[in-house]
Amino acid sequence: MLNYLVENYMKILSKSGEHLFIAATALILGVIVAVPVGIAISKSKLASKIVMTVASVLQTIPSFALLSIMTIIGVGKLPAIIALFIYSLLPILRNTYLGIIGVDTNTIDAAKGMGLTEKQVLFQVKIPMAMPVIMSGIRLSAVYVIAWTTLASYIGAGGLGDFIFTGLQNYIPPMIVWGTIPVTVMALLCDFLLGKVEQKMSPYKTSGGEIVEA
């Protein structure tokens, strides 16, 4: 097992880089789209129902089926990134929406009473207070996307899925193991780092067991 790692560590690193690039690109696109949309639909119950329904339906499409559909635009990294981007949307969208509508109305009224405009309330009160919930959705989506990126190898996108599925097809256990371990490490590390970011961006911190405003 260790011999395989020593002999193939450069290839494992290369595939890990490919894997991370695909997952990170899909996640970043998901954040860029889902966070503004989640904020926008928080102003309308009808819009939120429609958008959430569409996102939920897209989420229910089996991963293999969605990847297969994406092959109509070709094979490789682009269709894989588009498919993973679609899968990344729902957790971020849902948490952004819930975070924004969950901000205490008394706090919003107090901000308006101080003379803040709607735009200022949004950027100075609602988004900062909703940020822990939004980051929670991003963390969840990040872990999902890193795991699902293994399937991208089926449409020629590369990544660590190449090791896993080649190992399964040819029964080469070391390939399966050294394809799986980096995926697990990346998912755990990403969750940990985003958790730290979530703590830093929270408008509250704990002190002596009590929650106080930062």
Helix residue ranges per DSSP H, 43-172: 45-60, 63-70, 77-101, 105-113, 118-121, 127-148, 161-170
Mean pLDDT of all residues in 160-173: 91
Question: Does residue 208 surpass a pLDDT of 90?
Answer: no
Q: Could you tell me if 114 and 62 are in contact, meaning their C-beta atoms sit under 8 angstroms apart?
A: no
Mean pLDDT of all residues in 183-190: 95
Q: For 1-53, write each residue's pLDDT tens digit.
A: 778 888 888 999 999 999 999 999 999 999 999 999 999 999 999 999 999 99
Q: For 46-87, write each residue's pLDDT tens digit.
A: 999 999 999 888 888 888 888 888 889 888 999 999 999 999
DSSP state of 20: H
Domains of the chain and any CATH numbers: 2-203 (1.10.3720.10)
Q: What is the percent of the chain with per-residue pLDDT over 70, rounded to a whole number?
A: 94
Name, in order, each residue with C-beta under 8 angstroms of 186's C-beta and a sequence gap of 6 or more: 16, 19, 20, 23, 146
The span from the CA of 214 to the CA of 203, in Å, is: 6
Q: Could you tell me if 75 and 156 are in contact, meaning their C-beta atoms sit under 8 angstroms apart?
A: yes
Q: Give Dmax over CA atoms of the chain in angstroms.
A: 68
Residue 117: phi and psi, rounded to 5, are: -80, 170
Mean pLDDT of all residues in 193-198: 89
Write down the pLDDT at residue 197: 87
User: How long a stretch of residues is the chain?
Assistant: 214
Q: For 91-140, write each residue's pLDDT tens digit.
A: 999 999 999 999 988 989 998 899 898 899 999 899 999 999 999 999 99
Share of the chain residues as helix, strand and coil, in percent rounded to the nearest 5: 85, 5, 15
